[in-house]
């Protein structure tokens, strides 16, 4: 008796994918809009009136600060044989940032993976590369936070448990990103994906691991500079010094890492509360609150502007081609 042939997989109707893309875009725009509105209202209630020019500069520095991590992600994709054209990768990378404002933050992976999957990439490999990039950034952010909180100048006025939390966050992000652990996770994940290749699973080398930490260091330095500009916007006398910059680096790194692991959209409340607490000893409570609200507005605004520019540029290139 002949064996029954496996039934072919049912394909989605042709209209389903465009509809899904529209729904995803609507969810992202709604989430970003709500976050922007909340930040703008908070800024109106703040007793400090920031300088607009420095606020715009803060957003611009923030957007540029993430470029090294975007290029690192591209390097991982290249090493794993995935689509790695500079334009599509940078566009997918920045579009993914908007996904963190949606509950659960899984949309970050969906947006980046979907963008490159259309170019012929493998879903499992692209998704794994997104986790590699993100966890690398968060791990170094936790380590930097823990180190800075061991310095009396920056630990002053902060509870001792905050140092433990910082290193705990670092360990929680660092452990899965170490090549021996990450390679096991990649193999486990790809084995369960139908589009995974039959050959050896993709691997994270120590060279890629080191390159990621270098890129993450540059990104965190840029985020510290962006926050310093926001504080200076609210407090003209806030001088550019190594201590002020390191204080802003700490106030950017620990809240962002904690907000990421909280799974709350955009790290709302978790990130903002920690940032205010960490900035208060250096800038005072009123300025700390105003700068925190301002930097959220500047960061979200810059992400939206950059994504708009990249999408428009990609469309022009397609039409011109």
Residue 144 lies in a domain: yes
Q: Does 72 map to a domain?
A: yes
Q: Sign of torsion, CA 108 109 111 115?
A: positive
Instruction: Give the range among 103-107, 201-205, 294-298 with minimum mean pLDDT.
Output: 103-107
Asked whether the predicted pLDDT for residue 115 surpasses 60, the reply is: yes
- Token pair for residue 217? 């260091």
Mean pLDDT of 275-288: 91
146 has pLDDT over 50: yes
pLDDT band of 316, cuts 50, 70, 90: confident
- Tell me whether residue 17 is in a domain: no
Q: Assess if residue 18 is contained within a domain.
A: no
Q: Could you report the per-residue pLDDT of 178-235, keeping only the tens digit for each? A: 899 988 988 887 777 655 554 667 889 999 999 999 999 999 999 999 999 999 999 9
Does residue 40 register a pLDDT over 60?
no
Q: Identify how many contiguous H helices and E strands the chain contains and give both numbers.
A: 13, 0
Number of domains in the chain: 1
**Closest of 180, 166, 95, 172 to residue 130, by C-alpha:** 95
**Mean pLDDT value across residues 94-115:** 82
Structural domain boundaries, residue 176:
27-320
- Cα torsion angle, 204, 130, 181, 258, sign: positive
Query: pLDDT value at position 217?
Result: 98
pLDDT per residue as tens digits for the range 13-37: 554 545 544 555 555 455 545 554 5
Q: Taking Cα atoms as reference points, which of 269, 273, 270, 268 lies closest to residue 289?
A: 273
Residue 189's pLDDT is 78
Residue with tokens 């659960």: 104
Stretch 279-308: mean pLDDT: 91
Any domain includes 5 = no
């Amino acid at each position: 008796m002949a064996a029954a042939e496996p039934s072919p997989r049912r394909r989605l109707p042709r209209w389903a994918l465009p509809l899904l893309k529209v729904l995803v875009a609507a969810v992202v725009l709604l989430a970003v809009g709500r976050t922007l509105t909340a930040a703008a209202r908070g800024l109106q209630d703040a007793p400090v009136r920031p300088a607009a020019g420095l606020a715009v500069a803060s957003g611009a520095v923030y957007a540029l600060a993430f470029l090294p991590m975007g290029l690192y992600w591209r390097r991982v994709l290249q090493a794993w044989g995935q689509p790695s054209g500079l334009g599509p990768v940078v566009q997918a990378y920045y579009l993914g940032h908007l996904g963190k404002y949606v509950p659960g933050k899984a949309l970050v992976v969906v947006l980046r993976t979907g963008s490159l999957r259309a170019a012929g990439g493998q879903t499992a490999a692209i998704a794994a590369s997104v986790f590699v990039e993100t966890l690398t950034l968060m791990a170094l952010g936790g380590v930097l936070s823990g180190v800075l909180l061991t310095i009396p100048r920056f630990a002053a006025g902060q509870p001792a448990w905050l140092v433990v939390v910082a290193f705990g966050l670092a360990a929680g992000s660092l452990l899965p990103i170490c090549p021996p652990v990450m390679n096991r996770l990649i193999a486990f994940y790809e084995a369960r994906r139908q589009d995974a290749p039959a050959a050896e699973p993709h691997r994270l080398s120590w060279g890629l691991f080191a390159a990621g930490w270098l890129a993450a260091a540059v990104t965190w330095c840029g985020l510290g500079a962006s926050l310093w500009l926001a504080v200076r916007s609210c407090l003209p006398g806030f001088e550019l010094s190594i201590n002020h910059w390191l204080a802003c680096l700490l106030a950017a790194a620990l809240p962002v890492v904690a907000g990421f692991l909280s799974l709350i959209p955009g790290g709302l409340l978790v990130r903002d509360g920690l940032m205010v607490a960490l900035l208060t000893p250096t800038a005072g409570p009123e300025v700390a609150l105003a700068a925190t609200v301002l930097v959220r507005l500047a960061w979200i605004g810059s992400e939206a502007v950059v994504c708009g520019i990249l999408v428009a540029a990609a469309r022009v290139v397609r039409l011109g081609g």
